[in-house]
Amino acid sequence: MEELPKVARYKPYYHELEKGKRYRWCSCGLSKKQPFCDGSHKGTDFLPVVYEAVEEGEEVLFCGCKHSADQPFCDGAHNDLQDVYEEDDPNSEANLLIPVVAADAQGRAVLDGGCCVIQVSRIAKREEGVMKLGELISRASGAQHQSQFYAEVAKGQSPILSFGDSDVIIFVAQGNGELSISGRPFAVNPEQGVYIRPQEAFSLHNPHDEPMHLYISVCPLDVAPKYLAEMPGNFNDDFPERTIGIDPDKRQTMSNRFFQMLVDKTMGSKVVTQFIGDIPKSKAAMHRHLYEESIVVLKGEGYMWTENLKTKVTPGDVIFLPRKQIHSLECTSADGMMLVGVIYPGDNPSINY
């Protein structure tokens, strides 16, 4: 029978590495010097896995549960070894002392480390034909990797938009219409993700009286939208699949939570990833990620917590989460919370530490 490794802990180990140094990661789980080998594997079937750091200061998450399929790194496997996601009591004595931050005049509630919750209805929006466009996340709001815009498209044809060399990932929150990506038409519907390759442009046609609502993520950031006079014909045919909707067969479990990848590497997006997920009524234990994340709350209410502050989140709000910021998203709705996230750089939303 195959010998199973011992779980050293249900979380990865964060390390900053020295370029060229060889690290011997413990695969058996018996070492007293986790996550590194101390020779305790002697007499077992396990051997240490050697990793040589490629960059100075390289940040890695070494697997702690020893069940990762991406050894020596964490792939989120620890979440599936437990029935319940690690939780925290929102009513503990310490948590009850944490104050609730109110949104400012621009609809932003700023928490520790620049994490913030943004009320989309209160941000400034610029009108361009039938489209209203507002900036949600940018370098000005503390982001280093991704920006995000909110767009409302009324009946008619929107302007043609381009974000230069950046990858563009859209989430259609409301309305149906036709999206042209560099001349290639796609039908778009609510709860769909859309992928636009660097250098391509896009425009939307809304044939209905109800406006379309869209969240537009741009990675890397610092690219202002360019309004083009003509649609370019540079659709990248190497990546023909550009829209993706919810498919229950593609749902992945993460303890008692679910998520489904929308735009990801299978569509050609290597370092920007969009996913949709739901979380039950709960408060996850505080944790952090190596990627920067934006989250749109689609359904359900709760609180976003950082070390010393928290703020209310309601449907339609956008959460910006800087890399390595400790946090927890609490769902207080009995029916759970549904959200869509974009992580960058990253391809696996189940990795946390």
30 scored as a contact of ligand FES (CB under 6 A):
yes
48 scored as a contact of ligand FES (CB under 6 A):
yes
Question: Which of 11, 13, 23, 46 touches ligand FES by CB under 6 A?
Answer: 46
Of the candidate spans 28-36, 85-93, 181-189, 261-269, the one that interacts with ligand FES by CB under 6 A turns out to be 28-36
Cα–Cα distance for residue pair 330/297, rounded to 1 Å: 12
38 scored as a contact of ligand FES (CB under 6 A):
yes
168 scored as a contact of ligand FES (CB under 6 A):
no
Question: Which of 9, 40, 141, 324 touches ligand FES by CB under 6 A?
Answer: 40
Complex with ligand FES: residue 48 or 175, whichever CB lies closer: 48
Residue found under tokens 């999206």: 179
Number of DSSP helices (H) and strands (E) in the chain, helices first: 2, 29
Cα–Cα distance for residue pair 214/10, rounded to 1 Å: 37
Cα–Cα distance for residue pair 93/95, rounded to 1 Å: 6
Question: What is the total residue count of the chain?
Answer: 353
73 neighbors 53 (Cβ within 8 angstroms): no
181 neighbors 231 (Cβ within 8 angstroms): no
Single-letter residue type at 145: H
Cα–Cα distance for residue pair 283/90, rounded to 1 Å: 7
- Shortest Cβ 26–ligand FES spacing (Å): 3
Q: By CB under 6 A, how many residues form the interface with ligand FES? A: 12
313 scored as a contact of ligand FES (CB under 6 A):
no
Complex with ligand FES: residue 41 or 327, whichever CB lies closer: 41
Question: Which of 23, 35, 37, 267 touches ligand FES by CB under 6 A?
Answer: 37
**Binding footprint of ligand FES on the chain (CB under 6 A):** 26-28, 30-31, 37-41, 46, 48
